[in-house]
A and B are shown apart, each in its own frame.
Chain A
Amino acid sequence: MVWDRNLNWIVPLRRVVVTQRLTYEEAMRAWELALRLPEHKEKMCLWYGIAARDYDDACDTLLEWRYMMHYSGILYCAVETTATADASRHFWVRAWKGPLRVLQETAGGVSSLVPDLMTGEINDPDAEFLEGDIVEFPLFKFLVHCGKDGYEGLCFNPEGSPFLGNTVVDDAGDPPVAGQDLHDNMLAMRFQLLFNLGMAGFYHQAAVYQSGAGSGLLGEPGGTRVYARGMMYGAVLKVCVRPDIRNPNPSDPHWLVASYHWGRRNAEVVPTLDSYNRVLLPGQPLTPAWSCSPCTLTVMYILLDADRWGESAVNNEYDAGRLSQYRARRLTRCEILGADNPREASITVNLLPENPGAPEVDGVRQAPQRLGDLNVVCLYRHEQALLRIYPHCRLLDMGSAGTPPHTGCICVYNPATGRDYFDGVEGQTSMGQLWKFEASGAMHTEREPQRMGAGPHHWDRIEENIVRFVKTPGETRHGGGYHGIWYRAADPTASNLQDMQRFNHFIMFDLNEDALAGLYFPGKTYRPIVSGDYRLKVLSRQRLRRVRATDPDREYNDYKRLYAERAVPYLTLDEFIQATTPAGRSRSDYPPAQDLLAEITAAENPPAQSTAPATGQPAS
């Protein structure tokens, strides 16, 4: 529609990605009109239990606010009487800067988007939103005007992230409680976070490298092509990493996106153009720093928001009580067991029998469960995640009547354009499109060198949603590994244990070793025998930390060089300036990139900061 052509509703009626520059007033108008659409009104009234008349009145309130936002701050009064002002009924939005804005603000091309320090709201009615900015409308305030008093105490979380489902808190800064539910799509948001990081969205904010922990990376100025990439908070990323490498520090304010090769110094994991070119086809989206098992497990648990994901992930996976509380479709684990001869193992997703005891068909044993939206397939020590991704319009149809889509389906958008990443998904509203996510095998012990995180994570579209796996010719051993750790016997070797401990994985094995040949997961009783001594602490997901990328195996003395070698298709500052230089102005009208870099570097490293201990302390 015309009025919302510059927006992409990543969460209906609540959160958008700006796809084309628009004014504050236009954004508010789009929200109001979207709320007034009959089909939206119907769903909202159903979900939140709102009377139609109350809903209309709330829309009228919003309309008044649209008029008022430029006039707020006038109080009419008369002498000798009292006049009362209540300016609390506003609808200022919360916004997060997109990468383009960061570049433009750096270049001085646009006025800065300045949020209120306490609420994160943008209370400048003359503000404009740019492509890639994420805007969240105060839906909770709208609900209050609908007569839903339970939402009265909510406000925006100034440190919240649209990716994490914590954009709204109550007066005490705590997450909303029951009765204050807001529809969201946390599954999609979490996936988006992973995806953005996987797309080498190495967003950098000035403070990221201010701490002592990052000071070693600063070094002398190097590359000058890329400066800031916007803001990206990642509170959910954690990969298994050996704690004796130089970074991990409980007080480190950053979350670690670590790429670690144990046993071999490779340099292909940091998502630079160089590493991309070496490992995969150009243009293929990657998620380095993941091995297959951490990848699949972490994807699963992040997306499901499962308790204590990443720590006892394997154990949790088999604890039906834990996962059953999530509305996401059943997490299905299929182990494709092959015969001695290589052949194609095929699963027709929608024809899968639900009977766990389904027989083999044409020599292919059928998976015991219907594939869900999130699936892990274990194929000879190598795991793949099968994710069903829907187009955005699915979000509006999600859930049964009266159930907002808190979780349940994955939709992916490009934060720079707000559009779907994938073509041809428009017709997949109901079925979705299956994609295979996969990382190279990592933790097995047979192949040398051992590689953890060394392999890229790539994905493929699964044509017609039919999953096919090709077994390696001559491969006869199967089912003996779990989450990539293959064990030779009931009693793992010391080497096995060491491997497992490092990755904080439990080994689960069947008490009856003989049953392995025909094993389906789950379906048997397992017993954990090992737990990791180097267990990474699960840090509070409420505490947002900035993401720092590091590769201990490569001498990146200058993080700017890392950015300069980026593989993401965003414009660099130089490119941006060149692309946006108006006719009649020359490149020399703008400050040299080196000067800007020096300014940024100086801003990032004030004298007081430069004396910080190298061991690293939390940034204030």
Chain B
Amino acid sequence: MLRHTVRQGESIISLSQQYGVPVDKIWDHPDNRALRQRGRTKSILYPGDAVTIPDHETKEVQAATERRHRFSCRGRTTWLRLRFLDKGRPRHGEPYELHIGAQKFTGDLNGEGKLEVRLPADAEEGILLLGSPPRQETIRIRVGHLDPLDEDEGVRKRLQNLGLLAPGGDDSSGERLRSALRRFQKMQGLAATGALDDATRNKLIEVHGS
């Protein structure tokens, strides 16, 4: 058993792949209760979180000598689901080309403006070409880089995805974040307080999808 300090981009799923321990065995480990209570999920951790990784389980297999045996280790894959909107409306039917590692996925966004692909669990970075030339957009996909909603950074990144907040820039006072929240609240018909109350939080999850 070891304690793993989470880096940006890691999730329980990617740690499962990394350490060869089943997802549920990591997630359900009693030492990780605090993570669960703090609202972390198997998909979304925060840099600095400490995750207890149980030891490998030993599996014994009977095999005769003088014969060849084949053992396969199933590599874990995971779903990546992305949704693209234009002024709040799905961009359905637009062609996409997703490059992650050596893999390439192509298709059209579905009626909800979504694409769904299965990726290796440790995938972290990809390039998405969306649309057709000459209006093709290039989007960098940062898999596992979405932070928990309980952290300011998690709120920021969701608002950034929704085009309401820019990455970078000085916001030590948090005013830009409050302003972006206020605009989000107005767009969603909520009370424009600039605070992440429960209603806003739920709406953000609903609109963003996570």
User: C-beta contact mask, A49-65 vs B, less than 8 Å → 1, else 0?
Assistant: 00001100100110111
Q: Mostly helix, strand, loop or mixed at chain B's interface?
A: mixed
A82 to B145, CA, bound (A): 13
Given contacts A60-B176, A64-B166, contact A79 B186 (CB under 8 A): no
Give B135 Cβ to nearest chain A Cβ, in Å: 6
What is the bound-complex CA distance between A67 and B163, given in angstroms?
Answer: 11
Among A70-78, A187-195, A252-260, A420-428, the one that faces the other chain is A70-78
CB distance from B49 to the nearest CB of A (A): 14
Q: A64's closest neighbor in chain B, by CB?
A: B166
Whether the pair B139, A74 counts as a contact (CB closer than 8 A) is: yes
Contact call A84/B207, Cβ cutoff below 8 A: yes
A360 at interface, CB cutoff 8 A: no
B80 close to A71 (CB less than 8 A): no
Do the beta carbons of B169 and A85 come within 8 Å of each other?
Answer: no
Q: Choose one: A53, A76, A84, A152; the contact of B85 (CB below 8 Å).
A: A84
User: In chain B between 78 and 102, which residues have their CB closer than 8 angstroms to a CB of chain A?
Assistant: 78-88
The answer to whether B183 and A83 touch across the interface, beta carbons within 8 angstroms, is no
Using A78-B144, A116-B135 as known contacts, say yes or no to A85 and B85 having CB atoms under 8 A apart: yes
1/0 contact string of A503-541 vs chain B (CB within 8 Å): 000000000000000000000000000000000000000
Instruction: Confirm or deny: B4 has a beta carbon within 8 angstroms of a beta carbon on chain A.
Output: no
Given contacts A57-B183, A77-B146, A89-B164, contact A83 B137 (CB under 8 A): no
Q: Please pick, from B44, B78, B137, B163, the residue contacting A89 in the complex, using a CB distance under 8 A.
A: B163
CA distance A71 to B161 in the complex (A): 11
In the complex, the answer to whether B179 meets A87 with C-beta atoms within 8 Å is: no
Enumerate chain B residues within 8 angstroms of A73, measured Cβ to Cβ: 137-140
* Contact count band on A: 35 or more
The answer to the question of A88 belonging to the interface, with a C-beta cut-off of 8 Å to chain B, is: yes
A84–B43 touching, CB < 8 Å: no
Query: Bound state CA distance, A294 and B71, in angstroms?
Result: 92
B53 at the interface (CB under 8 A from A): no
Contact A76 B142 (CB under 8 A): yes
For the complex with contacts A78-B143, A83-B161, 17 further pairs of A-B residues with Cβ separation under 8 Å are A57-B182, A60-B176, A67-B166, A67-B168, A74-B140, A75-B128, A76-B145, A76-B146, A76-B147, A78-B146, A79-B121, A82-B114, A83-B146, A83-B209, A84-B207, A85-B162, A116-B134
6 nearest A-B residue pairs (beta carbon): A82-B209, A67-B166, A68-B166, A81-B210, A89-B163, A86-B85
27 contacts between A and B (CB under 8 A): A57-B183, A64-B166, A67-B166, A67-B168, A68-B160, A73-B137, A73-B138, A75-B139, A76-B145, A76-B147, A77-B142, A78-B144, A79-B43, A79-B79, A79-B119, A79-B121, A79-B143, A79-B144, A81-B81, A82-B82, A84-B162, A86-B85, A86-B86, A87-B84, A87-B86, A116-B134, A118-B135
